Amino acid sequence: MTAPNLESLAAQFAAIERRLDAGVGAGERDATRQEIITLFRTLEQGIADLTETVSALSTLKEDVKRLVDKFKAQGAEAATNHPEFSGEKPVVHADHIGASTFIEKGWSRLSLGDYEAAETALHRALELSPNDPQSEALLGWAQMLQEKYDEALMNFQKVLMRQPSNALARINVGYICLKKKIFGEAIEHLSKAIRLDNDKKATLYAHFYLGLVYLEREMFEDAQTFFRKTLALGPNLIEAYYELGRAHWYNGERDEAKEAWRTGHATNKFNPWGKRCAEVLQTVEAGGEPPRSP
């Protein structure tokens, strides 16, 4: 039902109400009754039409989410090494101030990769319900994935103050410290996530990021150790093959590097990191060098 129709129907209602308040004569009662019945039926049909439209839109919305999954599966995303956002829907409670609505909206936007809209929704959630760890954690994700590292770090640290065993928040802090080259703090948080070992994804990424820390510090054998542990935990994390190859190459182990890249490409040729393994292999075989940074 469009806005002009609503205005017209509201005007009809007001006109009938004014006549009733003034008193309807006996000769007008049948006509007025029919007007009321017609108005009611029109509204009832309008509601039915809207319900059908809303249902169709909801179905299409779920189909669009499937497009996002298909897009990711085909490797259309750029090869990045940030943590993969956890797709688990947050558990929220009904509340009279509406914060839960914005938490769910923030999670939904994060899942779709619309990080700016997620940040906006989660700021609103925290305005309505300050100091909520779930909102702070999701907001940290939204900011981190936009490379707003200082803001994200602040939110994840708030989460850890209340939930020290939140391993995903901890590896995100470790990742941000890695990007900011605060290596000592990165090692501390990532090592603690491994000791906690209460979240498989966090444990996997903690090993991977420790490998990157040691690679950045040119401690190549330590980096190799953590990349191998990463692949033992998650053989499909293809970026670990790519980074293992770099750790071997810059340690003077050229054949081992090429083997790591060949394996990474063979494991998943369509993955963006699998493609990158093939590209760097082609580069070094032509006499070039792999990049110094991921």
Q: pLDDT digits over 23-35, tens only? A: 878 788 888 888 8
Q: Does residue 124 lie within any of the structural domains? A: no
Question: Which one of 24, 47, 73 terminates a domain?
Answer: 73
pLDDT in tens, 200-226: 999 999 999 999 999 999 999 999 999
State which amino acid sits at residue 274. Answer: G
Rounded CA-CA distance 134/110 in Å is: 13
CA distance linking residue 32 with residue 92, whole number of Å = 48
Q: What is the domain range of residue 13?
A: 1-73
Residues 163-186 pLDDT 10s: 999 999 999 999 999 999 999 999
Question: Which of 43, 73, 103 is at the close of a domain?
Answer: 73
Mean of pLDDT over the chain: 87
pTM of the prediction?
A: 0.74
Per-residue pLDDT, 72? 59
Query: Rounded to an integer, what distance in angstroms lies between the CA atom of residue 184 and that of residue 164?
Result: 19
Residue 78 sits at the vertex; the CA angle it makes with 176 and 167, to the nearest 5 degrees, is: 35
Please state the rounded mean pLDDT for residues 270-294: 91
CATH of the domain at 255: 1.25.40.10
Specify if 278 maps to a domain.
Answer: yes
What is the count of structural domains for the chain? 2
Predicted confidence at residue 74, as pLDDT, reads 56
